[in-house]
Amino acid sequence: MEHLSKSQALEILKNLIAIKSVNDHEKTVATYLQKLLAQYDIKSEIKPIRGDRANLIAEIGQGKPVLGISGHMDVVSPGKLEDWNSNPFEMTEKDGMLYGRGITDMKSGLAAIVITMINLHAQDLPKKGTIRLMATMGEEVGEEGSSYFLKDGSMKDVDGLVIAEPSGYNIGYAEKGSMDIKFISKGKASHSSMPENGYNAIDALMNLLIEANTTFRDDQIKGDSIGPLVFNTTLIKGGTQVNSIPDYAEAEANVRTIPEYDNQKVIATLHNLIKKYNDQGAQISTDIYMNEGPVLMSPKNPLITPTKKLMEKYTTETVHVAPISAVTDASNLVQNKPIEFPFIVAGPGNNTPHQINENLDKQMYFNFIDIYEKLFIDFLEK
Amino acid sequence: MEHLSKSQALEILKNLIAIKSVNDHEKTVATYLQKLLAQYDIKSEIKPIRGDRANLIAEIGQGKPVLGISGHMDVVSPGKLEDWNSNPFEMTEKDGMLYGRGITDMKSGLAAIVITMINLHAQDLPKKGTIRLMATMGEEVGEEGSSYFLKDGSMKDVDGLVIAEPSGYNIGYAEKGSMDIKFISKGKASHSSMPENGYNAIDALMNLLIEANTTFRDDQIKGDSIGPLVFNTTLIKGGTQVNSIPDYAEAEANVRTIPEYDNQKVIATLHNLIKKYNDQGAQISTDIYMNEGPVLMSPKNPLITPTKKLMEKYTTETVHVAPISAVTDASNLVQNKPIEFPFIVAGPGNNTPHQINENLDKQMYFNFIDIYEKLFIDFLEK
């Protein structure tokens, strides 16, 4: 055997989709991958975090250079199951498309890099250098898993990094930062017929968030390097019963920061807005519980051109080399690397991550297994 | 026997408190009252609604005029029992005060009007006209019971109405309407880094509610008769996780309507606002699940002055004749009555309805039995 067959590649992806690793159970994924790699004589190590959560690390080859390849094992919630056309945890094929939660983000990318390792190892490749798989937990909620790889030194000797997040036939070299902020608004309860005896905590919070929308969506916030700043309220909750003025409300917002308007500047702006409302009687406080800065590497780093040439064999459309809008484990993994560090985000997928009926072109999945094999060897052996 | 004794009056109130008619079991209350009235030769009819829920109707006297007297048989939840100083369903006396769930709102008022009927009937009163007791179920949750009395014609020949809700030595002649409205906002989920692929259901809902605040709190909405319109968002909930653009959000609002800006006008205004946002891509819908109109009778209606004079015998403080902030069964019972229709809200009680350690001055309970006897006869026979 030199290469896993297409049906084997699909079987692996199907098995990964079947593991409900919704913000949890990455250890179950890691255990599955460990057994799979072991079948093909590749050792790996599960790095437990807590409960059923773990990272996975594995290597083939030896010595320098070291190419890091990375993907996360968690997925986001499928939302309401009845909104899906098929069971999100049962990979389904229709008209050449594959469906399932995580099929794009990013169990196909994870499967493709693992399969590439297996294929290379079966051919006794690479002849020179090391390929180090770093599969992470908790990427979707704060890139937790990759922070352990940063801390435990796994990235220290790495000479280049491929993150298999969904780019389709495009290449990412930079990404926005990301902040998760919790807002807490306290008020005073009263009967809804006598609001003058209370203070509406929901109103205060809504006023703040709507003004934050206006402020952060201003065209004046230019994003020449990696696009605009993005601010969105994504969770909100408040009140206890319809006929009582609410004395408590909370919301969470996600902010995608850019080099021109970074995390510190967002914090300063929010503090000013909150002060304004608190001066008017509100009692709003914040908890910034995720705070990852933007990543900006050179669009001319050594991984870009080879990847572009390989991708162009599979698409007639322009391969865009551009910043990506998502935050990936790169926000941890490339910390302290110089701007010319070889780094790309490139993986199978389209624009359906986190969506109902998340999907992927089946052929793209196979193509990326080919692209990765050539790219990894090209990087290590040239 | 001409009058029930004080100890008999307390025994009746104690028995009513002991029936846990928390949004249910009004039929048990009605059955108790039916037996009590029957002991004193007064016939009554239980009007079953469903399960253990029913209204009760009873009459003494005959012919015109007809005075309606009304009280509800349900109480609100006692909340946490451990917060009470005594068992809320065991009437307790301390320092001249009575304690228990419903002692103020409004089993004392209900007991007082029933006892007044018994006392009058024992004296072969009224000599002229009819007193019709309408005891209701489901008042605390949407005034359901009184809607049946409105529909079955029980109010048609009524020439005056006393609602024994807790006013203390004050008189209500008007009340705001009340609407409970649920707003549902649908959007489209996407990754929070790509909001352009989604539609933020929370943002759409907040924009609508904030504009509704501005609209309904405009000083132009004058409330000369019963104060200002009140609009408050009291519940809100939306989103599934911090890094996904939310595809669903919902909120509930309570609106206190006034004759100058009534329920229909509120609905029309909201529909216009919602249309504006839906035309911009939102998908907001409403469910108006409680919809009681405002009540505005004349502060000079024929029941006011006699009641005021009677109350002034029992208090040294000013007897206020004013709109009340709560909604009562009047929102159903006085529908289609002219503004000069004789109507008051007057009953024993203080400002502890719905509260822990709800209480009532015992003497006030006895005094209202006296007040009602004189008031009812004065109204019918003068």
Residue B111 domain-assigned (yes or no) = yes
**Smallest Cα distance from A244 to chain B, Å:** 6
CATH of the domain at A301: 3.40.630.10
What DSSP state is assigned to residue B258? B
Q: Which of A74, A144, A180, A250 is catalytic?
A: A74
Q: Do B191 and A246 touch (CB under 8 A)?
A: no
- Name the one residue in this structure whose structure tokens are 């653009």: B245
Phi-psi region of A185 (alpha: psi -120 to 50; beta: other; left: phi over 0): beta
Domain endpoint, select from B246, B273, B292: B292
Do residues A27 and A89 share a domain?
yes
Q: Residue B237 is nearest to which of A79, A105, A236, comparing CB atoms?
A: A236
Q: Do B230 and A192 touch (CB under 8 A)?
A: yes
For residue range B311-353, list pLDDT tens digits in order.
Answer: 999 999 999 999 988 899 999 999 999 999 999 999 999 989 8
Residues B140-157, mean pLDDT to the nearest whole number: 94
Question: Tell me, what's the pLDDT at A231?
Answer: 96
Domain endpoint, select from B248, B274, B292: B292
Domain count of chain B? 2
For residue B223, pLDDT beyond 80 = no
User: For residues B72 and B42, what is the distance between their CA atoms, to the nearest angstrom?
Assistant: 19
User: For residues B365 and B363, what is the distance between their CA atoms, to the nearest angstrom?
Assistant: 5
- Supply B36's token pair: 């009590």
Do residues A253 and A158 share a domain?
no
**Smallest Cα distance from A213 to chain B, Å:** 9
Do residues A208 and A157 share a domain?
no
Q: Which of A26, A105, A139, A180 is catalytic?
A: A139
Q: How confident is the model at residue B296 (pLDDT cuts 50, 70, 90)?
A: very high
- Active site residues per annotation of B: 74, 139
Q: Residue A192 is nearest to which of B202, B232, B238, comparing CB atoms?
A: B232
For residue range B256-285, list pLDDT tens digits in order.
Answer: 999 899 999 999 999 999 999 999 999 999
Residue B1 domain-assigned (yes or no) = no
Domain endpoint, select from A247, A269, A292: A292
**Chain A residues with CB inside 8 Å of B210's CB?**
203, 206-207, 210
Question: Tell me, what's the pLDDT at B382?
Answer: 80
Question: Tell me, what's the pLDDT at A190?
Answer: 83
For residue range B73-100, list pLDDT tens digits in order.
Answer: 999 988 889 989 999 999 999 999 999 9
Q: Which chain A residue is nearest to residue B198, measuring alpha carbons?
A: A355
Cβ neighbours of B32 (radius 10 Å): 17
Question: Tell me, what's the pLDDT at A1?
Answer: 58
- Supply B261's token pair: 């800006």
User: For residues A361 and A126, what is the distance between their CA atoms, to the nearest angstrom?
Assistant: 29
Please state, for a pLDDT cut of 70, what percent of chain B lies above it: 100
Do residues B135 and B266 share a domain?
no
Helix axes B6-18, B26-39, angle to 10 degrees: 160
Residue range of the domain that includes A281? 177-292
For residue B173, pLDDT beyond 70 = yes
Cβ neighbours of B35 (radius 10 Å): 10
For residue B201, pLDDT beyond 70 = yes
Q: Residue A235 is nearest to which of B209, B242, B254, comparing CB atoms?
A: B242
Do residues A99 and A157 share a domain?
yes
Q: Which chain A residue is nearest to residue B207, measuring alpha carbons?
A: A210
**Smallest Cα distance from B217 to chain A, Å:** 12
Do residues B148 and B25 share a domain?
yes
CATH of the domain at A244: 3.30.70.360
Do residues A317 and A246 share a domain?
no
Instruction: Name which of B101, B15, B60 is nearest B377 in CA terms.
Output: B60
**Smallest Cα distance from B202 to chain A, Å:** 7
Do residues B52 and B122 share a domain?
yes
Q: Residue B176 is nearest to which of A193, A237, A325, comparing CB atoms?
A: A193
**Smallest Cα distance from A209 to chain B, Å:** 8
CA distances from A345 to A153, A301, A321, A327, B13 (A): 21, 12, 10, 10, 76
Residue A23 domain-assigned (yes or no) = yes
Torsion of CA A63, A69, A70, A73, to 10 degrees: -90
Please indicate whether residue A11 is annotated as part of the active site: no
**Chain B residues with CB inside 8 Å of A177's CB?**
none
Do residues B58 and B136 share a domain?
yes
For residue B222, pLDDT beyond 80 = no
Task: Count Cβ–Cβ pairs < 8 Å, chain A vs chain B.
Answer: 162
What DSSP state is assigned to residue A243? T
Residue B200 domain-assigned (yes or no) = yes
Question: Tell me, what's the pLDDT at B166?
Answer: 96
Do residues B182 and B119 share a domain?
no
Question: Tell me, what's the pLDDT at B102?
Answer: 96
Residue A1 domain-assigned (yes or no) = no
For residue range B22-65, list pLDDT tens digits in order.
Answer: 999 999 999 999 999 999 999 999 999 999 999 999 999 999 99
A108 within 8 A of A347, measured Cβ to Cβ: yes
Do residues B140 and B188 share a domain?
no
Residue B92 domain-assigned (yes or no) = yes
Q: Do A236 and B236 touch (CB under 8 A)?
A: yes
Do residues B171 and B298 share a domain?
yes
pLDDT per residue of chain A (382 residues) written in tens, 0 to 9? 579 999 999 999 999 999 999 999 999 999 999 999 999 999 999 999 999 999 999 999 999 999 999 999 999 999 999 999 999 999 999 999 999 999 999 999 999 999 999 999 999 999 999 999 999 999 998 899 999 999 999 999 999 999 999 999 999 999 999 999 999 999 998 888 888 889 999 999 999 999 999 999 987 787 777 888 999 999 999 998 898 899 999 999 999 999 889 999 999 999 999 999 999 999 999 999 999 889 989 999 999 999 999 999 999 999 999 998 788 999 999 988 999 999 999 999 999 999 999 999 999 999 999 999 999 999 999 8
User: For residues A9 and A108, what is the distance between their CA atoms, to the nearest angstrom?
Assistant: 10
Q: Do B242 and A141 touch (CB under 8 A)?
A: yes
For residue range B230-253, list pLDDT tens digits in order.
Answer: 999 999 999 999 989 999 999 999
